[in-house]
Amino acid sequence: MNIKLIVNNLLKLTMYKHITWIRKNPPSFLSSSPENAIIFYYETVYKSKTFAIYEQQEHIFSQDIGEFFIGTKFHLATIGYNELTESPSDAYIFDTDDVSLYPLYQNVKREVLDVNSLFSPDFWSKD
């Protein structure tokens, strides 16, 4: 499975506004303890598949200092919903390095927060 193809396609669809991401509360089964809390969680639907990208706090071991520290990692998943309750019931988390997800994550946040509108002269004009 070529995860980079999925990430690149989601990035293109996001940049060209062919998909819309929504910030939501993460499903509880994705975070088993406060040490790995999900900080930001976004979902979109494309061709009846629900995709989620999220930033999760994790204990990361540093080989350099020989200790654990709290950092964050980005994850991409497909989310399954229970048809009767319409609540998340399952997830497949793609195994990918988090560096490849960062551009997608940044574009999703930019879209959700509508950052591009700040660069429009109309935004700054007096009403």
Report the C-alpha gap between 58 and 110 in whole angstroms: 24
Highest mean pLDDT among 23-27, 64-68, 109-113: 23-27
Residue type, 122: D
Residue 2 — pLDDT band, cuts 50, 70, 90?
Answer: confident
The percentage of the chain sitting over the pLDDT mark of 70, rounded to a whole number, equals: 98
Q: What angle do CA 107, 110, 114 make, to 5 degrees?
A: 140
At 63-84, the pLDDT tens digits run 888 888 888 889 999 999 998 8
Residue 1 has pLDDT above 70, yes or no: no
At 6-22, the pLDDT tens digits run 999 999 999 999 999 99
**Radius of gyration of the chain from its Cα atoms, rounded to whole angstroms:** 17
Residue 85 has pLDDT above 80, yes or no: yes
Q: For 44-69, what is the mean pLDDT?
A: 90
Residue 37 has pLDDT above 80, yes or no: yes
Report the C-alpha gap between 43 and 51 in whole angstroms: 6
